[in-house]
């Protein structure tokens, strides 16, 4: 039962990743693209953690934490760039 739930969840989150990539490419404006990137890295974290659970290793948790930190910093930097025109003051 757990194997089925893992494979089903991985398939659904993979679909969400594909839809997020579509929104990044075809987004109507820049804030929507930034929001899609934010959601994309959250889905990537979920996929990495699910793969770690499926393989039975904790190594993927560290990779997910690194992606979370880098994604947060990237989202803040892009939002600041859109608001002010520069990242570093």
The tens digit of pLDDT for each residue in 30-50 reads: 889 889 999 999 999 999 999
HEC string of the chain equals CHHHHHHHHHHHHHHHHHHHHHHHHHCCCHHHHHHHHHHHHHHHHHHHHHHHHHHCCCHHHHHHHHHHHHHHHHHHHHHHHHHHCCCCC
More confident call, 43 vs 86: 43
pTM summary value: 0.84
């Amino acid at each position: 039962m757990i194997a089925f739930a893992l494979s089903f969840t991985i398939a659904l989150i993979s679909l969400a990743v594909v839809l997020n990539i579509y929104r990044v490419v075809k987004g109507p404006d820049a804030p929507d693209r930034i929001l899609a990137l934010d959601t994309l890295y959250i889905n990537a974290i979920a996929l990495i953690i699910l793969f770690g659970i499926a393989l039975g290793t904790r190594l993927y948790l560290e990779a997910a934490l690194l992606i979370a930190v880098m994604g947060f910093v990237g989202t803040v930097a892009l939002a600041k760039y859109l608001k002010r025109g520069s990242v570093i003051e």
